[in-house]
Amino acid sequence: MMRRTATIAAVALSMLLASQTANASGPCADSINYLKTQYDQDPRTRNVFDLVYKGLQDPPSHYGYANPWKAAGDGKTLADRMASMFATWCTALPEISGSSDNGLDPILYFAWFYYRNPAGQHFVQGRDPADPTSSFTTGTTFLSKFNKDYRAYMDSGASTGEVAQWIADPRIEIEDYVHTKVSDYPSWNSFFARELKQGPDGRYPSRPVTMPDRDYVIVSPTDCIMTPLVQRLEPHSQTVRAYIENPLELDMVLDVKSIPISVKDLLGETPQDYKNKFSGGSGLACVLMPNTYHHFHSPVDGTIVHAEIVSTGSPGTPGTWGYPDFPNWVPMDGNVGRPGTDFSQFQAFQRGVIIIEVTYRNLPGHTPEMLTGYVASIPVGLDSVGSVVLDEGIRKGKDVIKGVTELGNFFYGGSLNILLFSQGMVSPAVQTRMGNQIGIINVGTAPPSPWTPGQ
């Protein structure tokens, strides 16, 4: 998401705390009251909050302010502030101005809770900070309950309060979509997953496919920023991020620090013989902005040979929170689509895995006449809800058309599509043509939110 410089709050949520009652009410009451009850009744939970508070670290100096969670002063008040922050987050609808919005603000604010703080990371990932070899589920249960509550609110009519603001913004390009009026959208998620107008041929006039009859042309699966994948290297005991220049290997680690992931694990339960196709291959990351189209389509013509949803909580997918060095992933301007972004930590996030078999013509006079390759489309959810939905019918054996066949959509909180290509298919770089879009001129500053410095 694009956002203004330093949107994470530099001040405590004192006014928000003052407005909270002893027991939470509202759409996220179940999760908030669970956290409060656990703190009141469970000594381990109280001890964990003490340890998290002691481990809080200040942001990098260029942010210009202290960790806002430090204002709590102790573990008890930290727990109160966390409950208050999430209660506010639950109904704080995202706002937009041009190419900037404030939807990432609460995610970034909460990230200071566990920024370079092992106790905070253990808490949100289901381990006891006092003994990380032991499980401790207060944090993971709370976040799971919050995700459920938050998703329900974003699916409700109460979540439409800012839809008019988004529709009125010319960067939304609402004329491209089937529904153009606020009254057409019964919830925020229905607006977020709005559908493009289709022509009588099933194609999308506002998103014409480049040279659809040329089998070697790959198209973008959605509106996004394309970037190379980044891998983790450790020469001389120093962790280094670098663009992937060598072919992919199944055991190549694309992650950093506490949530490493190999190409093999990223591909979920894909049968091993298909996983092997990506050894020696390449990849790209497709990052969606919140004001753009949030359905994803096939980037190639071909046939699906595998499709699945890898849900949070399944083996190898522990949860969506706790990335230890969030500012190192999200820069101060909020542009998570910038070159050099490391997306591989999303092993822990809900994702889809769709493998497409592609047949394309060889060079004239060469044998075999037709070649076969494989493309993996991996839509990934983000922190707050991370919902990835595959379209009905997206299953093994379905034929797909590039830029036309819809594979699925995101609801609010999911905005990344990783593409992997089998050996020999694609160089790991975006290749565009004269006249095709390569960027968007940015305008606007994100509206203030409860987590804006100085608010």
pLDDT tens column, 357-378? 999 999 999 999 999 999 999 9
pLDDT of 19 reads 41
Do residues 216 and 340 both lie within one domain? yes
pLDDT tens digits for range 116-136: 999 998 998 889 999 999 999
Please state which of the ranges 145-154, 250-259, 382-391 shows the lowest mean pLDDT: 250-259
Query: What pLDDT sits at residue 240?
Result: 55
Does residue 49 lie in a domain region?
A: yes
Tens-place pLDDT, residues 133-149: 999 999 988 988 898 89
**Phi, psi values for residue 245, rounded to 5°:** -105, -25
Domain match, 146 and 25 both:
yes
pLDDT of residue 247: 79
Given 98, 133, 154, the domain boundary residue is: 154
Which residue did the predictor score with more confidence, 67 or 317?
67
pLDDT of residue 370: 97
Q: pLDDT value at position 117?
A: 94
- Residue 262's pLDDT is 76
CA dist., res. 407 & res. 295, Å (int): 8
Range of the domain at 239: 201-421
- Side chain identity, residue 266: L
Predicted confidence band at 16 (pLDDT cuts at 50, 70, 90)? very low
Q: In this predicted structure, what is the pLDDT of residue 86?
A: 95
Asked if residue 4 belongs to a domain, the reply is no
Residue 420 CB-half CA count within 13 A: 29
Give a yes or no: residue 306 inside a domain: yes
Give the C-alpha separation, 22 to 418, whole Å.
Answer: 44
pTM of the model: 0.85
- Report how far residue 88's alpha carbon sits from residue 71's, in angstroms, rounded to the nearest whole number: 18
**Among residues 455, 454, 451, which one has the least CA distance to residue 92?**
451
Are residue 382 and residue 316 in the same domain, yes or no?
yes
pLDDT higher than 80, residue 12: no
Same-domain pairing of 319 and 397: yes
Q: Which residues contact 199 (CB under 8 A, 6 or more apart)?
A: 205
Rounded mean pLDDT of 64-87?
95
Q: How confident is the model at residue 411 (pLDDT cuts 50, 70, 90)?
A: confident
Total number of domains in the chain: 2
136 with 241, same domain: the answer is no
User: What are 13's two structure tokens?
Assistant: 């949520």
Whether 9 maps to a domain, the answer reads no
pLDDT digits (tens, 9 = 90+) for 229-268: 766 555 545 555 565 667 787 877 654 223 456 788 889 8
> How far is residue 108's CA from residue 296's CA, in Å, rounded to a whole number?
26
Contact 118, 48 (CB under 8 A): no
In a domain, 265, yes or no: yes
Encoding tokens for residue 275?
């996983």
**What is the model's pLDDT at position 148?**
86
- The per-residue pLDDT for 227 is 84
Residue 17 has pLDDT above 80, yes or no: no
Residue 351 has what pLDDT? Answer: 85
Q: Give CA separation, 135 vs 40, 130, 143, 267, 278, in Å.
A: 20, 10, 15, 27, 35
276-327 per-position pLDDT tens digit: 999 999 998 888 888 899 999 999 999 999 999 987 654 444 455 666 666 6
pLDDT tens digit string along 161-195? 999 999 999 999 999 999 999 999 999 999 999 99
Contacts for 403 with CB less than 8 Å, ≥ 6 apart: 203, 204, 207, 209, 212, 219, 297, 298, 299
The C-alpha atoms of residue 233 and residue 231 are separated, in whole angstroms, by 7
- Give me the percent of the chain exceeding a pLDDT of 70: 79
CB 6 within 8 A of CB 102: no
In a domain? residue 251: yes
Q: State the average pLDDT over residues 52-60.
A: 94
Q: Do 294 and 224 form a contact (C-beta atoms < 8 A)?
A: no
Bridge partners (DSSP) of residue 358 are 373
Instruction: Say which residue the tokens 């699925």 belong to.
Output: 408
Pairwise CA distance, residues 353 & 200, whole Å: 30
The answer to the question of residue 278 being in a domain is yes
Report the chain's mean pLDDT, rounded to a whole number: 84
For residues 154-160, give the mean pLDDT: 96
DSSP state string for 372-385: EEEEEEEEE--SS-
138, 239: one domain:
no
Three-class SS state of 152: helix
- Looking at the fold, whether 38 and 119 belong to one and the same domain comes out as yes
Q: Do 141 and 224 fall within a single domain? A: no
Among 69, 75, 81, CA closest to 43: 75
Same domain, 205 and 320: yes
449 vs 192: CA distance, rounded Å: 19
Both 237 and 147 in one domain: the answer is no
For the ranges 73-77, 331-335, 433-437, which has the lowest average pLDDT? Answer: 331-335
d(CA 226, CA 339): 8
Are 132 and 215 contained in the same domain? Answer: no
Element (H, E) at 94: none
Are 143 and 205 members of one domain?
no
pLDDT, tens digit, 9 for 90 and up, residues 194-213:
999 999 999 999 999 999 99
> Does residue 171 lie in a domain region?
no
pLDDT digits (tens, 9 = 90+) for 33-50: 999 999 999 999 999 999
